[in-house]
Structures are given as structure tokens and as C-alpha cells.
Amino acid sequence: MTELAKNTPETIRASLARRHRAETRFRCYGIAAISFGMLAVVVLLADITIKGHGAFRQTYVQLEVHYDPELLDIDDARDPAALLRGNFQAVVRAALRDRLGQVSGRVEHRAQNALVSNGAAYDLRERMRENPDLLGARETLWLAADDDIDTWFKSRGGEAFTGRISDRQMEWMRALEADGDVALRFNADFFTRGDSREPEQAGIGGAIMGSLLTLVVTLALSFPIGVAAAIYLEEFAPQNRWTDFIEVNINNLAAVPSIIFGLLGLAVFINFFEVPRSAPVLGGLVLTLMTLPTIIISSRAAIKAVPPSIREAALGVGASKMQTVLGHVLPLAMPGMLTGAIIGMAQALGETAPLLMIGMVAFIVDVPTGFTEPATVLPVQIFLWADSPERAFVEKTSGAIMVLLTFLIFMNALAVLLRKRLERRW
């Protein structure tokens, strides 16, 4: 009674104001939390984009190249052995000398030669392999600039990064630019080439191919097995210890750290079954085990969503249990299962840690073409480049991340679309 007696209109009004302030404060915490999350998204994406957008463009220098047979030391451009021996580096150097003038001293020579990527020589060789008539001819080409030059040229707008290039090189580049012989162009090599120690020659083509091969294996194994497991657990499993045990295991596997699956792959697949190291087939096996719980859980949800009336109708007209499930429940649950599979694949595409364990971190220059060839995948390529000391690799890494995120966004959008289009509501 004494407590109530104290509740005069004044005290209530005072406490009400206090309570409303608490309410406002609480609401502000909520807004702050949401803002923090949104800010994190924006900062993360903006940071990657700012760092990485340059990776899609590369500085090229226009030079007139003379395929001088004497310099090249090639008599017959149709002879592959002669082509391999040919000194294309000298041709590039001569072109630079002709364009920028003779310099004296080793340092200056080296500075001049370092303007253009040393991959340019390989490109010239490839051109001649395709067109042997080029021997002795002249042509004007855009050649990729060296990564230090490229970094400097791209960063000139703001705080120019001049750490690794000399004043003389800058002078040359300005002169070339004044004549319109330097340009930023779309970097197609970035998408088609394999890894390289030279940033301007490194591409994500090999990693994309490796990711693709790995995902094909993962999908081919995890989708059928996952769907079969879901069907069994939802439609056939008797209520006994074995099925309970399976359920507990699936739920736990979904939360086991991914690196543990790498240990499993190392101990079981590599050391026991002797699956070739670094191969997409091995990566696919490990990722299958990792994504199975995701696919099983979403497939079960899709099967659960099919109303019992469908089953009863099928059973009612004399279908067996198996016929009911495979002929009626499964097709109706398929869109939901596919959605789950795509989300599982997106998860597998972004996964890095278990693949480090099974040797997919090797430095691989060639674009893989088969399931048992050594390969690396996109996230691992990102990891490798992030470790590289060259400044130009920061840009490449961010560019690769942008490509990876684009794939992931595309896959998730596809899953959402599929769910909206095909999923039926009863």
C-alpha cells in the first residue's frame, strides 16, 4: 500500500519521462547497431572497389616493333625450335631505343628496358607463331607496361606512387603520353591468364577454371547424395537410434570449422586413398563433405514444404511409397532443393581454408584443363596474391575479389530468383 501511495501524478510523470528517455536511448542503440553493420558493408565494398577497379585496366605503351631477323636470330619463322630460341627481348629493347633515343650506362639501359613488361617478348613470339610472315616486317603494337610503371601511371591522379621508378622513367612516360602513345586499356589478360610472379602478367583465368572444375565435382557429388539423404530422412527413416544419430551428425557437421575438413582431406583422401594432391577432384571431394549438411538441411525443408495431401493422393491411387516420393514429392520439392544447392555452391566457391590443407596453394602458371591436374581456386589465388610483396598485387587481389564477389552475388541472385519463380505456396 505504501508503494502505491507514493505513485502520485507527479512521481508518475517524472518516472514516465525517465522511462521515455530510456525508450529513446534503447531505440538509438538499435539504430547505432544497424548503422554499424551497414557502415561495415559500405566500407568493405568501397575499400575493395577503390583498390581493385584499376585491375581491369592496364597501362599499355604503343611502340613500333621491327621483327629484325638479325636481332631475332631467326631464319625461318615456321620452325618452332627457332622461334623458341629467338631473342624477342632484343626486339622490344630495340623498339624502346628507337622510340626514346639511345641512352648510355647500364642503369639507364636497365631503366629504359624496364618500361615494358618482360612478358611483351612472349606476346611477340606468339604473334609470330600465328603469322610467320611477320619476320622482317614492322608493326605498331600496344605493349603492356611494367607493373611499377603501371602502378605509378594509375596513381598519378592523387598521391602518385613513385617509390620504385626513376625520374628518367617518368620523363619518358610523360613524353610518350604527350604523343598519345600511353593509354589505359581494358586488361583482357587478367581474365584469361594463369598466375605469374610478374603482376602485369598475372591473371585469374587459371583460378577461375580451377574453381569451375572443383565446383563441378562438388555439385555432381553433393547434390545427388544430399537429395538422397534428405529423401531418406524425411520420407523413409524409421524413428530409431541410427536415424537420430544421423541427424545429430548432420547438424554438428554443419557447424564444424571448415579447416577440419581440410585435415580430413589430408589424412584420408591424400594419405590413405592417394588422390592426387592439388587436384580439383580432391578439392571437390573435400568441399562435398563440407557442403553436404547445407544441402541436406535445405532439401529437407523443401520436402517438408510439400503438403501431405500430394502424398496421400498418390498413395490413394495405388502408387508405392517409392513411386510417390520419386514421382510426386521430389519434382515439387525440386525448386527448393536447387535453391539450397546453389547456396551450397556459393559457400563452396568462397571457401579457402580446407583447400590450403590439401595443396591447392601451389604456384600454378598453366590454366588447368582436367580434374586431376594441379589447380588453384579463386579464393586461394586471392590469398596467395594478398601475401605477395609487390604493390601491384594489391590491385590484382582486389580485382580478383571483385570478380569473386560478382560470381557470388550472381549465384545468390539466381537462388532468390529461382525461389520466387518456381517455389509453390500451398
Partner 1 sequence: MSPVNLIITLLLLSIVAHYLAHNRAEALARPLGGIRHLHSLPFYYGLRSALWCGLPALALLLLWMIFDDPLTRSLVLAGMPGDAVPESPAQRGLLLSTIVNVAEGALPPDGLSATVVEAAQRYQELRGLSTRIVSVAAFALALGGLAWGVRRISPQLRARQEVETVLRWLLLTSASIAIFTTLGILLSVLFESLRFFQSVPVTDFLFGLEWSPQMAIREGQVGSTGQFGAVPLFVGTLLISAIALLVAVPVGLMSAIYLGEYASPRVRNIAKPVLEILAGVPTVVYGFFAALTVAPFIRDLGMQLGLSVSSESALAAGLVMGVMIIPFVSSLTDDVITAVPRSLRDGSLAMGATRSETIKKVIMPAALPGIVGGVLLAASRAIGETMIVVMAAGLAANLTANPLETVTTITVQIVTLLVGDQEFDSPKTLAAFALGLMLFVTTLLLNVIALRVVKKYRERYD
Which residues within the stretch 71-130 sit at the binding site for partner 1 (CB under 8 A)? none
Q: How far is the CB of 97 from partner 1 (least distance, A)?
A: 39
Closer to partner 1 at the Cβ: 201 or 352? 352
Q: How far is the CB of 276 from partner 1 (least distance, A)?
A: 11
Residues 155-194 that bind partner 1 (CB under 8 A): none
Q: How many other CB atoms are found less than 10 A from the CB of residue 46?
A: 10
Of 268, 213, 171, the closest CA to residue 378 belongs to 213
Q: How far is the CB of 225 from partner 1 (least distance, A)?
A: 5
CA 98 to chain centre: 41
Phi, psi at residue 255, to the nearest 5°?
Answer: -110, 5
Q: Spell out the residues 6+ positions from residue 83 whose beta carbon is closer than 8 angstroms to its own.
A: 74, 77, 125, 128, 129
Closer to partner 1 at the Cβ: 118 or 243? 243
> From the list 37, 307, 316, 327, which residue makes contact with partner 1 (rule: CB under 8 A)?
37
Q: Are 154 and 54 in contact (CB under 8 A)?
A: yes
Q: Counting contacts by CB under 8 A, is residue 422 touching partner 1?
A: no
Of 370, 386, 372, 381, the closest CA to residue 404 belongs to 381
Say how many residues touch partner 1, by CB under 8 A: 88
Q: How far is the CB of 339 from partner 1 (least distance, A)?
A: 14
Q: Counting contacts by CB under 8 A, is residue 413 touching partner 1?
A: no
Q: Where does 185-326 have alpha helices with state H?
A: 189-192, 205-231, 241-253, 258-264, 280-304, 308-316, 321-324
> From the list 13, 27, 185, 304, which residue makes contact with partner 1 (rule: CB under 8 A)?
27
Q: Counting contacts by CB under 8 A, is residue 256 touching partner 1?
A: yes
Q: How far is the CB of 151 from partner 1 (least distance, A)?
A: 15
> From the list 7, 15, 17, 19, which residue makes contact with partner 1 (rule: CB under 8 A)?
19
Residues 267-326 that bind partner 1 (CB under 8 A): 267-268, 271, 273-274, 289, 292-293, 296, 320-322
Q: How many other CB atoms are found less than 10 A from the CB of residue 135?
A: 19
Q: How far is the CB of 341 from partner 1 (least distance, A)?
A: 15
Cα distance between residue 234 and residue 247, in whole Å = 11
Q: How far is the CB of 241 from partner 1 (least distance, A)?
A: 12
> From the list 7, 11, 17, 41, which residue makes contact with partner 1 (rule: CB under 8 A)?
41
Q: Are 72 and 135 in contact (CB under 8 A)?
A: yes
Cα distance between residue 344 and residue 422, in whole Å = 19
Q: How far is the CB of 192 from partner 1 (least distance, A)?
A: 22
Of 370, 225, 380, the closest CA to residue 288 belongs to 225
Closer to partner 1 at the Cβ: 144 or 401? 401
Looking at the DSSP bridge assignments, the partners of residue 62 are: 142
Closer to partner 1 at the Cβ: 196 or 243? 243
Q: How far is the CB of 420 from partner 1 (least distance, A)?
A: 14
Q: Are 350 and 381 in contact (CB under 8 A)?
A: no
Q: How far is the CB of 119 from partner 1 (least distance, A)?
A: 25
Handedness of CA 112, 118, 121, 123 (dihedral sign): negative
Closer to partner 1 at the Cβ: 18 or 85? 18
3-class SS at 344? helix
Q: Are 338 and 240 in contact (CB under 8 A)?
A: no
Cα distance between residue 203 and residue 319, in whole Å = 55
Q: Which stretch in 28-36, 110-118, 185-193, 334-342 sits in contact with partner 1 by CB under 8 A? A: 28-36
Q: Going residue by residue from 338 to 377, which x/- string records binding to partner 1, judged by CB under 8 A?
A: --------x--xxxxx--xx---x----------------
Q: Report strand pairing: 182-186 vs 138-144.
A: unpaired
DSSP annotation of 369 reads: -
Amino acid at 19: R
- Residue 177 C-alpha cell reads as 603520353
Of 90, 89, 121, 100, the closest CA to residue 168 belongs to 100
Q: Are 153 and 182 in contact (CB under 8 A)?
A: yes
Closer to partner 1 at the Cβ: 130 or 274? 274
Residues 192-251 that bind partner 1 (CB under 8 A): 224-226, 228-229, 231-233, 236-237, 243, 245-246, 249-251
> From the list 22, 84, 313, 422, which residue makes contact with partner 1 (rule: CB under 8 A)?
22
Q: How far is the CB of 112 from partner 1 (least distance, A)?
A: 33
Residues 379-398 that bind partner 1 (CB under 8 A): 379-380, 382-383, 386-387, 394, 397-398
Closer to partner 1 at the Cβ: 86 or 354? 354
